[in-house]
Each structure stands twice: as structure tokens, then as C-alpha cells.
């Protein structure tokens, strides 16, 4: 081996060791900070925000998600075991079918007695008013890839209670409220694009958001984006879904605004659900930066939400 080759090999080894040391330091920083900052106040903590920005090591991501969702506050000893004993629910066959499609390489998630089917049967048995959709299998399955089964269940429960449950409840207006807010935000930030989507193409905000928000963009973003994007979502909350929508639209804008294409509504909706992978930056953090750069004011969304909810409730009553 030449001296130059030896130097290159030594340099590469040093670089790998430095990366390992940095990774381990970040692990320890997360563990120490989670021990010092109560999970109830995690989303208000500047220390936690800084750590989310630095990154979440995959080795502790399941624990971090459990922490960010404050799942331990909901945990009831023995309840999960009791719920799993109830067995099948009306959606069991659909869950099994979707598990095979979504996790073809994870045999344990596809088994009828495996953790994914048990977790979702337990949850849907506990909350029977929800309408099952494939995205529940996607979200629960990805949590299970990071966490032990019962931890995954309580993380899933907290995620649903905090953000998503209303999207799957026929009695809820959450998707209508969020879609209306998204439409108004887009009209403020990019009137030309809003006119193109909601006017020229006759796409309604709810048609757009229904494909994105309940799935946490799992059908839209590259698979290797999801965990990092969800790190930020679990810290930032629902407003981050709006930002992700703006980031996706920003990537797709040249395609959408090209009137010469003669685009049909159905074509555009399909494109926005699954944009070309080539549109996305190789670095997920670059995409996340574009989401934070979106012209969306979280305070404006919070202030406008009660008014939109009242208007939609009134409209629902009048329509009966």
C-alpha cells in the first residue's frame, strides 16, 4: 500500500470515528435533555427545538416521539393488553391487506397476530367511531419500526388525540376547517397559484388537503423523508402541515402554472398526491427549510380558526 493510500485510509477512518462520536454525543444530549425538560412542556422548550433542528438519531427516535407526544401522560397500565384481547374489528381484513402493500419487507408487520394488526385493532376497538383508512396502517407501522409495541401504541394514541383523530371521524369538521384555512393562507401568499388551483382547475382546498394532512404526507414525500419530517411535525404541530403543503406546491408550481399543458383536474390531483421524485432535493433538510420559508403565519391561523369553525358549524346546521 502506498503512503498516499495509507493517508487516505487513515483520513477516512478518522472521519468515520468523528461521525460516530458526533452521533453518540447527540444521542446523549437528547437523553439528558428529555430527562431535564418535562414532556408536557417539550413543545415550548427552546432546548428541545434546537435539538430537533440538530437532528434525531434513529437509535432514540422512538423514545423522542414518545416524549414529544407526551404519550406517558395517557398511558394506563394493562389497558393495551386488555384491548388486544378483544380481537378483530370490522377493518381487520383491510388492515392486513394494507400492511402487505405498505410493508412488503417487514414480515412481522404483515402477520395476522403481529404488532401492527394488534395495535390497530386495539385502537379501533377503543375508538369505534373512526373510519379506517390506509394511512392509519402507514403511520402505525412506521412508529412500530422505531418503538416496542406498547410504546408504539401510546405514541399512536397521543398522535391521534393531539392532531389526527378528527380527520377520521365523520362527526368532525377538522378536515373542512383546516382545508378552509389552507385555502385562505394560499390565497394570501400566492394569489396566482390559488386562482390556478381553486379557480381555473376547480380544485377545492378540501380535495387537496384530504390527500395530504390525514396521511402526514406519507403518500407524497419520498419515503426517506418521512421520519425527519415527522420529527418536526411532532414538535411544531398542525401548522407544520400547512408549511409542508406550501413546500410541495412550491416544487410543483412550474408544472401547475403551465397553461399550455391543458391539465385536467384529476391529473393535477394525482400529481400533487405523488409528485415526481426528481422534484425533491436530495437533502431532506433543504426541503424542510423551504417549508419554514413558506409565507404562512402560525398566529394568523390560530386567530382565524375559531371564526372558520363557527362559520362551518352554522353552514352545517343550515344545510340540514
Q: Do 140 and 188 lie in a common domain?
A: no
The predicted model gives 157-164 an average pLDDT of 97
| pLDDT (tens digit per residue) in 43-94 | 999 999 999 999 999 999 999 999 999 998 899 999 999 999 998 999 999 9
Domain boundary among the residues 103, 131, 162 is at 162
| pLDDT (tens digit per residue) in 284-319 | 999 999 999 999 988 999 999 999 999 998 887 766
- Residue percentage of the chain with pLDDT more than 90: 84
Domain boundary among the residues 60, 87, 102 is at 60
- Which pLDDT value is given to residue 203? 96
Q: Do 146 and 262 lie in a common domain?
A: no
Q: Do 47 and 119 lie in a common domain?
A: no
Cell of 55: 437532528
Residue 40 within a domain: yes
The predicted model gives 194-213 an average pLDDT of 95
Q: Do 51 and 120 lie in a common domain?
A: no
- Which pLDDT value is given to residue 9? 53
CA atoms within 13 A on the CB side of 134: 13
Q: Do 143 and 182 lie in a common domain?
A: no
Q: Do 270 and 184 lie in a common domain?
A: yes
Per the CB < 8 A criterion, the answer to whether 26 and 57 are in contact is yes
- Which pLDDT value is given to residue 315? 81
Residue 167 within a domain: no
Q: Do 241 and 309 lie in a common domain?
A: yes
CA atoms within 13 A on the CB side of 246: 26
**How far is the C-alpha of 266 from the C-alpha of 96, rounded, in Å?**
29
For the chain, how far is it from start to end, CA to CA, in angstroms? 83
SS3 for 191-220, per residue? HHHHHHHHHHCCCCHHHHHHHHCCCCCCCC
Q: Do 217 and 292 lie in a common domain?
A: yes
Cell of 204: 377545492
- Which pLDDT value is given to residue 10? 52
CA dihedral 307, 157, 114, 122 (to 10 degrees): -90
Strands annotated E in the chain: none
Query: Residue 14's Cα: distance from chain center in Å?
Result: 36
Q: Judge whether residue 12 has pLDDT over 60.
A: no
Q: What is the CA radius of gyration of the chain?
A: 22
Confidence label for 13 from pLDDT (cuts 50, 70 and 90): low
Q: Do 223 and 120 lie in a common domain?
A: no
- Which pLDDT value is given to residue 18? 84
**How far is the C-alpha of 148 from the C-alpha of 143, rounded, in Å?**
9
Q: Do 214 and 300 lie in a common domain?
A: yes
Residue 73 within a domain: no
- Which pLDDT value is given to residue 317? 73
Per the CB < 8 A criterion, the answer to whether 183 and 210 are in contact is no
Residue 217 within a domain: yes
- Which pLDDT value is given to residue 17? 85
pTM: 0.90
Q: Judge whether residue 1 has pLDDT over 70.
A: no
**Host domain of residue 39:** 3-60
Number of domains in the chain: 3
Q: Do 263 and 201 lie in a common domain?
A: yes
Residue 69 within a domain: no
Confidence label for 5 from pLDDT (cuts 50, 70 and 90): low
Q: Judge whether residue 7 has pLDDT over 60.
A: no
Amino acid at each position: 500500500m502506498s503512503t498516499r493510500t495509507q493517508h487516505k485510509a487513515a483520513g477516512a477512518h478518522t472521519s468515520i470515528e468523528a461521525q460516530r462520536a458526533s452521533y453518540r454525543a447527540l444521542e446523549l444530549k437528547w437523553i439528558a435533555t428529555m430527562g431535564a425538560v418535562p414532556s408536557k412542556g417539550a413543545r415550548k422548550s427552546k432546548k428541545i427545538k434546537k435539538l430537533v433542528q440538530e437532528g434525531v438519531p434513529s437509535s432514540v427516535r422512538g423514545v423522542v416521539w414518545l416524549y414529544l407526544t407526551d404519550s406517558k401522560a395517557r398511558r394506563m397500565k394493562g389497558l393495551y393488553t386488555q384491548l388486544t384481547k378483544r380481537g378483530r374489528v370490522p377493518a381487520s381484513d383491510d388492515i392486513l391487506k394494507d400492511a402487505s402493500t405498505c410493508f412488503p419487507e417487514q414480515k412481522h408487520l404483515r402477520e395476522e397476530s403481529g404488532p401492527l394488526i394488534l395495535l390497530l385493532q386495539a385502537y379501533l376497538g377503543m375508538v369505534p367511531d373512526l373510519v379506517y383508512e390506509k394511512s392509519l396502517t402507514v403511520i402505525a407501522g412506521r412508529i412500530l419500526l422505531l418503538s416496542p409495541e406498547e410504546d408504539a401504541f401510546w405514541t399512536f394514541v397521543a398522535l391521534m388525540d393531539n392532531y389526527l383523530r378528527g380527520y377520521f371521524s365523520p362527526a368532525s369538521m377538522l378536515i373542512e376547517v383546516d382545508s378552509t384555512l389552507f385555502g385562505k393562507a394560499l390565497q394570501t401568499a400566492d394569489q396566482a397559484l390559488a386562482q390556478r388551483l381553486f379557480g381555473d382547475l376547480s380544485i377545492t382546498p378540501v380535495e387537496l388537503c384530504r390527500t395530504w394532512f390525514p396521511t402526514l404526507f406519507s403518500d407524497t414525500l419520498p419515503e426517506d423523508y418521512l421520519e425527519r419530517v415527522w420529527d418536526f411535525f411532532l414538535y411544531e404541530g398542525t401548522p407544520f402541515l400547512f408549511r409542508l403543503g406550501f413546500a410541495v406546491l412550491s416544487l410543483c408550481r412550474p408544472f401547475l402554472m403551465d397553461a399550455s399543458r391543458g391539465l385536467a383536474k384529476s391529473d393535477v390531483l394525482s400529481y400533487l398526491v405523488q409528485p415526481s421524485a426528481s422534484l425533491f432535493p436530495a437533502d431532506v433538510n433543504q426541503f424542510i427549510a423551504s417549508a419554514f420559508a413558506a409565507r404562512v403565519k402560525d398566529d394568523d391561523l390560530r386567530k382565524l380558526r375559531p371564526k372558520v369553525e363557527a362559520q362551518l358549524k352554522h353552514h352545517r346546521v343550515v344545510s340540514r
